[in-house]
Amino acid sequence: MKYGIVIYPQKEIQDWANSLRKRYDSHYTLIPPHITIKEAFEIENINEAIQYIENITSQIPPFTLKLSKVGTFLPISPVVYVGFEKNPVIYELQEKLNADILKRPLKHQFIPHMTIAQDLHEQEIHDVYGRLKLENLNKSILVDRIHLCYQIENQSWTVYQTFLLTGK
């Protein structure tokens, strides 16, 4: 079974992202707008993982991600995303969630982002990129919790457990 860990932005940001994803993101119906903090991974003992994650989230305080720019992963991957102003806390969280029993090889360097478009032809990706640069990005995400999800047969994700960030 595949697990993953994500941040769901608050509803206003999700609604804004979905108004764009609807047209551009093939995963639009499979998962709400999100920031992946840990890519799909497998683990035998999920309860052990949960204890481990709880220990981490008790050390990390709530933090803010300020939207900063539109980016693309071209030529590696046909994706347009929204990125954030650097905030060391999300890197600390990501590193701690990829250590010890949760350590897995990373497919890509960790770049915190919210995907807006994917699985389009390269020319379309360029068009969407240009289009998105006109969007107002004066928005912030308050991150006070993360969600451990699992993938079901139709490739969509169900939340298994929420972890509140309770560090000081």
Residues with a catalytic annotation lie at 34, 113
Binding mask of the shown chain, residues 110 to 149, with x at each position contacting its own copies by CB under 8 A: -----------------------------------x-x--
Nearest-angstrom CA–CA distance, 22 and 17: 9
Strands 157-164 and 3-7: unpaired
| Closer of 77 and 162 to its own copies (Cβ) | 162
Looking at residue 24, its amino acid is Y
CB of 2 to its own copies, least distance (A): 10
Residue 43 to residue 53: CA distance in whole angstroms: 13
Residue 38 CB partners (closer than 8 Å, separation 6+): 4, 5, 94, 97, 98, 102
User: Is 78 near its own copies (CB under 8 A)?
Assistant: no
Nearer to its own copies among residue 123 and residue 136 (C-beta) = 136
Q: Which of 41, 52, 110, 160 binds its own copies (CB under 8 A)?
A: 160
One of 8, 24, 81, 84 touching its own copies (CB under 8 A): 8
3-state secondary structure of 107: coil
Q: Which residues does 148 contact at the CB level (< 8 Å), separation at least 6?
A: 3, 4, 5, 49, 50, 53, 159, 160, 161, 162, 163
Q: Which is closer to its own copies, CB of 25 or CB of 72?
A: 25
By CB under 8 A, tell whether 158 contacts its own copies: yes
Question: Which residues sit at the interface with its own copies, rule CB under 8 A?
Answer: 1, 8, 11, 14-15, 18-19, 22, 28-30, 32, 145, 147, 150, 152-154, 156, 158-162, 164
